[in-house]
Amino acid sequence: MVILNAIVCDVNGEKKADVRVENGIITEIGSGLSDAEIIDANGAYLIPSLVDLNVRLQDSTLNAKNIKAISNEALRGGVGHVVLNADSTPSIDGEIVLEFAQNGLRDIAGAKIDLMLNTLKKDSTLSNIAILLKSGAIAPYMSTIAKNDVAIKIAEYVQMYDCTLFCKAEDNSLIKSGVMLDGDVSSKLGLAGIPDLSEVLHVSRMIEIARHFKIRILFKSIASPRSIYLINQAKKDGVDVRCEVSIHHLINSDEMCEGFNTTAKLDPPLACESDMLLLQTALKNAQIDCLTTLHQPSSPLNKEVAFYDAAYGCEALSDALPLYYTKLVKNGMIDMSSLIKLTVQNPAKSLGYKAGTIEVGQKADILLFNPDVKRVVDNEQSLYNGQELSGEVIPL
């Protein structure tokens, strides 16, 4: 197969080229290529498939049906590799649940799905991390509700197995009653708030644990600019810590919650407008390592209720690449090569493999993306319902 007239785009930049693919491997990149099977890109982008490390299943319920649905949705959005969050129901904190989840991965036809393990059981004691990693879990996940002695034991396992710890920074005593960011909007709506200190305090704590044990940590779905500052200061000291931010937190503030809009009830909560602008500055300054759709679909039964009782999350996975392109690239915040670094190269690096380039000899985990096609989002569970997005994903 030869793909003609493409704009080949990876972390190294863009160039017009033809690409030959044989048996799933890129064998030639050049011009004037020919083959019996031709796909004319007509100037569309040819890019690596995206990687999303922060995806949940429908109502966070772990079963084969929901896994298959996520796999198909991801491919429609240009995401070729998904890592499911471990804090599902049931939680992936034991061998039986892990095997149950792995059985659900059989015969999926969409995106590749990998599984995190939850290092904490329901009673906040330690799960069998060693066994779960050896049994095929791709990485350990930890919420900072873990006490110091447990967090240190987790760090020792991460050090032993030389993997990245996926860490959700949150304070159990501060998140229990709150449902959105503590601030002017929460006061206006009369809703209990969660202070951003809930995140910042535990980012600082886990940085010191990473420093002491010389381990890698990816902080999940960061929402506070202060957290990003602390992470980048730690990087300068040689601490191997990285941060992930969702597309929603970059382009929406807590004002989206006005009118008790439950689609804007996210975890972590949307930041105030001034902090949202600081997050955008951090993105432009290359201080954010990974982007995520923070996909967390919920049934209407769990969303179309009072704000306080509504489930957290919104849907975005099937719109991933058009959403990133429209809101970040087309608006001039970053370029396409930077987007690929944030959504392919860096997430893959956190999982221990290389991606983000299109080169001869590589597996053809690629797609075509036509930025000129426009579509209006028709999904009531999306923050962008009714908005026009640019771009169409064409799987290969």
Q: Is residue 71 predicted with pLDDT exceeding 90? A: yes
Domain membership of residue 272 (yes or no) is: yes
Q: What is the pLDDT of residue 132?
A: 98
Query: 194-240 pLDDT, tens per residue?
Result: 999 999 999 999 999 999 999 999 999 999 999 999 999 999 999 99
CATH number for the domain spanning 342: value is 3.20.20.140
**Is 332 among the domain residues?**
yes
What proportion of the chain, given as a percentage, has pLDDT over 90?
A: 97
Cβ-proximal residues to 56 (8 Å cutoff; 6+ apart), any chain:
84, 85, 88, 295, 296, 297, 313
Is residue 142 situated within a structural domain?
yes
Q: What does the pLDDT average to over 273-281?
A: 98
Asked, for residue 313, whether it belongs to a domain, the answer is: yes
Q: Is the dihedral of CA 312, 317, 322, 324 positive or negative?
A: positive
Could you give the CA distance from residue 318 to residue 79 in angstroms, rounded to a whole number? Answer: 8
Sign of the torsion angle spanned by Cα atoms 164, 296, 310, 257: positive
Count of domains for the chain: 1
Rounded (10°) angle between helices 225-236 and 273-284: 30
State the pLDDT at residue 200.
97
> Is residue 315 situated within a structural domain?
yes
Residue 292 located in a structural domain: yes
User: What predicted TM-score, i.e. pTM, was given to this entire model?
Assistant: 0.97
Tens digit of pLDDT for each residue in 6-59?
999 999 999 999 999 999 999 999 999 999 999 999 999 999 999 999 999 999
Question: Can you give the residue range of the structural domain that contains 79?
Answer: 48-355
